[in-house]
Structure formats: C-alpha cells, structure tokens
Structure 1
Amino acid sequence: MRTTVNIHDGLLATVKHRAQEEGKTLGDVFEDALRSYLLADRTEEVTEAAPPSLPVFRGGTGLAPGIDPSSNASLYEAMYAAEDAALAALIRGHERP
C-alpha cells in the first residue's frame, strides 16, 4: 500500500541510515517500528487490566489478646511495648532517688 506521511527531516535521515545498516528497506523499518509500537500498547492494556496476585498469609493465631485493630494507640502499644519498657528502665536507671 502506498501512502504519504510527513516526517521530520532529521528523523527520516536517521531511519534511512538505520535501514541501510540493517540491509532493510525504509518500508520494512517503518513496519517493524509500527508493529513494536502497537504491541507495546497492547502489553500495557493487558498489564493494567490484570493486577499481579499478592501472597496472602492464611495461618497463624491472629492478634494477641487485648489488641484492638481499630485503635492506633492499641497497635502502637503492641508494636513498641518492649522498646518502651526498655527505654523506661533506662530512664529509671538514670533517675536519682
């Protein structure tokens, strides 16, 4: 099929040089480039439509007794209880009676 396309002169010169280096016709290079462009577009659509699956932990004992998952303070206390206790002991150790 024959068609007319406007292409920047510098780009056309680069494509002609590449075609000559690869022993291809200018039409072959354009067809390859368009094919790659269209395939890349399809790949993005498929990737966006199907999010990756994530591993889900299904075992274990759940939350420790007394932890309220809807309370930031409760979660903080559970996560940092040991550190807070160690810090408190360190501070008490430096306090003078």
Structure 2
Amino acid sequence: MRTTLDIDDNLLRQARQLAAREQTSLTRLIEEGLASRLRNAGKPAAAGEPVRLPVFSGEGGLQPAIRDARSHRAILDVIDALDGAQ
C-alpha cells in the first residue's frame, strides 16, 4: 500500500543514512520501526528487573549536631559545617 508521510527533514536524512549503512530500503526501515513500536505498545517502558535501592539498617541515628531532624535548615547547617572542617 502506498501512503504519504510528513517526516522531519533531519529525521528523514538520518533514516536514509541508516538504511544505506544497513543496505536496506527506507521503506523497510520504516516498516521495521513501526512493527517494533506496535509490538511494544502497552508494555511497560522499563521491562527489566526492578531496581533495588540500598537501605541502611544500622543503629546510631542522626549526628548529635542535628538537633531537629524535621528542619531542613538544621541538616544543611551541619553539612556546611562538615564541609568547612575539611
């Protein structure tokens, strides 16, 4: 079936270059891309193992200098003081 598409000039140039490198036609390249997109439609974007985040389970709590853990400013003040000490 023939159809007409409006494709960004830069994208079309890159697609033609890729087709030439892979020794295939632009039509075949577009068909493969469309088929791939349709196969993946509805699948989650990140289809892999879930990311496992490290969790600290030690003891000790906050540094003694942090008097109020709910205060963003108090935590930043301690960080600034530690940076200045180095």
TM-score by length of 2: 0.49
- Higher helix proportion, which one? 1
Q: Which has the larger radius of gyration?
A: 1
Higher RCO (CA 8 Å, separation ≥ 6 residues)? 2
TM-score by length of 1: 0.44
